[in-house]
Amino acid sequence: MTSPARTHRDVFGADPAGVWSAPGRVNLIGEHTDYNGGLALPIALPQRTAAACSARGDDLLRIHSVQAGETVEVALGDVGPGSPHGWTAYAAGVLWALRADGCEVRGMDVTVDSAVPVGAGLSSSAALECAVGAAASDLFGLGLLADDAARARLARACVRAENEVAGAATGGMDQSAALLCRTGSALLLDCRDGATEHVPFDLAAAGHVLLVTDTRASHALNDGQYEKRRRACEQAAAELGVATLREVPPGALDEALARLSTDELRQRTRHVVTEIARVEAAVAALRDGDLAEVGRLFRASHASLRDDYEVSCAELDVAVEAAEGAGALGARMTGGGFGGSSIALVPEDAADDAAVAVRAAFAARGWAEPQCFPVTAGPPAARDI
């Protein structure tokens, strides 16, 4: 990244009051469970989105994006469901949601620069929201970074911004990860009650690497497919007479499936119920140091997402198969799907071979070269300067 503070000075003619940043995230396991009241297990990435910010005395948001190469002005009074459009909705929506939550915020001058790949399924949108939200908290004295309870409140505002202003019907896992994760740990997030637990995640000590592959098959969560699956889960829960699919225990799955009206609802329900169980099993395996079991769970998760939830794509499937063929203990797509990234649990001495194998598999099909990189569990959103 460039220096967002220097860019801010060039664009707005004054130094920022500070620089805040928030991470992208990789979800180890627990996909499409968050809006079903389930469990997820994300880590914060080392890659972050930085926001150099200053408070204004009026209600104007001026925001410059290094990646977009443009500066946009938005009056906070004009922000609401569906407005503004595009990337600015994620930043403007946070200020709108904070106001709706009773927080006194004004306009801001914001310069955004990001190392989180856009469209890679690594939650660049939540990183933007949480960086701007962290800045607003400090600039306006909101105290929303003070502890985990305050950070959870900020996460909820960021979720509302994404759902209502940006129009992406996501759950809360991405924002919770960006604000609550810790270095060297995965975040066990219970999306039914918001409870969190930190699970040690230090693959290097065990001689392994988590390899991310950005397939460059771009995805978007506001194109209707994500929401279609969310609505199917809500319909399935309604037919079963439960608040969310989290209420269906694995032992009662077959009986529940028999009561559903369509094959589509049965497929979606089977994925959600078995995926929640896989999160629990993965946490137990990590605590026991059983990485072979974690790899097996990765493989089962990907098959479920591919076949029952139908959110994978050719690029993700090839990345997973190539990594496993080169020695990965297991691999799976991560994020919302329909493109984006995969992750692979790889012995350290096989990581380069796995990356080479994935790139070769893409080249053989004439696809654009994917980006492969190892990641570790990083810290949450914070003030940098």
Catalytic residue ranges: 174
CA atoms within 13 A on the CB side of 292: 0
- H helices within the chain, ranges in order? 4-12, 88-100, 124-139, 148-160, 173-180, 225-240, 253-259, 263-288, 291-307, 314-325, 351-364
Q: What is the DSSP track for 53-83?
A: EEE-SSSEEEEEETTTTEEEEEEGGG-BTTB
Report yes or no: 22 and 145 within 8 Å, Cβ to Cβ. no
**What CA–CA distance (Å, rounded) separates 174 from 160?**
12
**What CA–CA distance (Å, rounded) separates 174 from 125?**
9
Cα separations in angstroms, 88 against 61, 68, 133, 236, 270: 10, 10, 13, 34, 37
Phi, psi for residue 213 in degrees, rounded to 5: -120, 115
